[in-house]
């Protein structure tokens, strides 16, 4: 078992990574101090892994809440459903919420844990590549609003993140590709060697090679844990993790969270961020091309045909990264070197949107 730590003083917590962890006696059990546990999952994941998780947590009082699957269900209404179950069953402040699923389940269950009784324990058991490499780590929780992605939420760190890489064996190919977008992101912002490794091993990853997947999960968690440990509340460096996300969140919101998986939107967002960086004179054409090629090889869309440039821009303006009216973007100087700026040519943004959105291909 591989163990990493997110170092946050008294709120530090472990990330456990290995194949088969959910079936290993004592592992999950040791990470859950509570006697009463609400397990939040969805209709896709629960039939696959709820029984294993429940068995691992015996003899606690366990209650499941099974949500519909998909980003469109990460809403205040479903948050309220989870809270209703906690309250109706009189769960005390010493209970725990366990998130079993992908990013939607983790974000929503995490926000429920953050806001129930002003904060109860949370354990993340991510079952998608995207959640394992990104969303389950770092304490960002929340729900979407028709007006924008993750606009309502809280920072609430888990007590533990338990990653059973075996769960990827049941992950649909589309979801696997979506998760790779976040892995590519880590390479782009701070690890050129990881990016090069991805270029060399992408086919193994897409084929579901367990060793290759384990490698990128570990490296992604290492990078994220280090950044979160230095900047939990995103006052500085952590914002680099939003590379591609201002474009991506806007794509998701503009299509009512129904068309794109989050990782797919991030993939397109990475290509747009690279194109923007090139058009602004920060990034070489060769590096921008490498970004686009890797994203496309990963089977991720680089173009948003159904969204007009104008609509995307409108949604970018209500994303969380807007300050003082200007859209702050994470841009690239090189592969492995990102920075944050709101000082770029507006025509670079307009040109990028025109090139990658709508029918103007």
What residues are annotated to the active site?
Answer: 118, 140, 182, 224, 234, 238, 242, 245, 249, 262
Q: How far is CA 20 from CA 210, 213, 236, in A?
A: 12, 14, 36
Residues of span 37-76 touching its own copies by CB under 8 A: 76
Total site size for its own copies, rule CB under 8 A: 38
The one among 39, 114, 133, 171 contacting its own copies by CB under 8 A: 114
CA pair distance 228, 127, nearest whole angstrom:
21
Q: Is 317 in the site for its own copies (CB under 8 A)?
A: yes
**Pattern 121-140, its own copies, x by CB under 8 A:** -------------------x
Least Å distance between CB 133 and its own copies?
21
Residues of span 155-184 touching its own copies by CB under 8 A: 155
Q: Which is nearer to its own copies, 155 or 215 (CB)?
A: 155
Q: Enumerate the β-bridge partners of residue 14.
A: 5
Least Å distance between CB 333 and its own copies?
25
The one among 103, 142, 179, 263 contacting its own copies by CB under 8 A: 142
The one among 29, 93, 193, 310 contacting its own copies by CB under 8 A: 93
Q: Which is nearer to its own copies, 88 or 200 (CB)?
A: 88
3-state secondary structure 140-208: EEEEEECCEEEEEEEECCCCEEEEEHHHHHHCCHHHHHHHHHHHHHHHHHHCHHHHHHHHHHHHHHHCC
Q: Is 323 in the site for its own copies (CB under 8 A)?
A: yes
The one among 62, 154, 214, 355 contacting its own copies by CB under 8 A: 154
Q: Which is nearer to its own copies, 8 or 318 (CB)?
A: 318
Q: Among positive and negative, which fits the CA dihedral 327, 189, 11, 103?
A: positive
Q: Which is nearer to its own copies, 114 or 251 (CB)?
A: 114
Q: Which is nearer to its own copies, 26 or 325 (CB)?
A: 325
Q: How far is CA 201 from CA 71, 167, 175, 289, 294, in A?
A: 29, 21, 18, 18, 11
Largest CA-CA distance found in the chain, in angstroms, rounded: 61
The one among 47, 119, 172, 236 contacting its own copies by CB under 8 A: 119
Q: Enumerate the β-bridge partners of residue 100.
A: 125
Q: Which is nearer to its own copies, 262 or 320 (CB)?
A: 320
- Which among 218, 185, 211 has a CA at the least distance from the CA of 291? 185
- Which among 216, 278, 276 has a CA at the least distance from the CA of 246? 276
Q: Is 35 in the site for its own copies (CB under 8 A)?
A: yes
Least Å distance between CB 145 and its own copies?
5
91 backbone dihedrals φ, ψ, rounded to 5°: -65, 135
- Which among 96, 99, 76, 80 has a CA at the least distance from the CA of 88? 80
Count Cβ atoms below 10 Å from residue 218 Cβ, excluding itself: 17
Q: Tokens standing for 12?
A: 């530090």
| Contacts to its own copies by CB under 8 A | 35, 76, 80, 83-84, 87-88, 90, 92-94, 111, 114-119, 140, 142, 145, 147-148, 150-155, 233, 317-318, 320-325
């Amino acid at each position: 078992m591989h163990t990493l730590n997110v170092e946050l003083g008294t709120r530090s917590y472990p990330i456990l990574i290995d194949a088969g962890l959910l079936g290993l006696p004592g592992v999950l059990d040791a990470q859950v101090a509570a006697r009463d546990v609400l397990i939040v999952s969805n209709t896709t994941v629960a039939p696959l892994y709820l029984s294993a998780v429940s068995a691992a947590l015996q003899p606690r009082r366990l209650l499941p809440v099974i949500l519909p699957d998909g980003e469109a269900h990460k809403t205040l209404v479903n948050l309220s459903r989870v809270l209703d179950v906690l309250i109706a069953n009189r769960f005390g402040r010493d209970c725990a919420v366990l998130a079993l699923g992908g990013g939607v389940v983790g974000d929503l269950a995490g926000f429920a844990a953050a806001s129930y009784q002003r904060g109860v324990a949370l354990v993340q058991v991510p079952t998608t590549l995207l959640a394992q490499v990104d969303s389950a780590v770092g304490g960002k929780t929340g729900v979407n609003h028709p007006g924008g992605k993750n606009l309502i939420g809280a920072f609430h760190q888990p007590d533990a993140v338990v990653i059973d890489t075996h769960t990827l064996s049941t992950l649909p190919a589309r979801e696997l590709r979506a998760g790779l977008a976040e892995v590519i992101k880590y390479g782009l912002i701070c690890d050129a060697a990881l990016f090069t490794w991805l270029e060399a091993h992408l086919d193994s990853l897409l084929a579901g090679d367990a060793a290759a997947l384990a490698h990128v999960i570990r490296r992604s968690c290492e990078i994220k844990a280090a950044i979160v440990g230095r900047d939990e509340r995103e006052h500085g460096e952590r914002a680099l993790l939003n590379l591609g996300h201002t474009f991506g969140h806007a794509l998701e919101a503009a299509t009512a969270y129904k068309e794109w998986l989050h990782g797919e939107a991030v993939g397109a967002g990475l290509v747009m961020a690279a194109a923007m960086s090139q058009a602004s004179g920060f990034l070489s054409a060769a590096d921008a091309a490498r970004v686009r090629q890797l994203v496309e090889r990963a089977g991720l869309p680089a173009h948003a045909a159904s969204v007009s440039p104008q609509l995307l821009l409108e949604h970018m303006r209500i994303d969380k990264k807007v300050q003082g009216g200007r859209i702050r973007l994470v841009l690239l100087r090189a592969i492995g070197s990102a920075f944050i700026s709101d000082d770029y040519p507006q025509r670079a943004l307009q040109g990028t949107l025109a090139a990658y959105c709508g029918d103007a291909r």
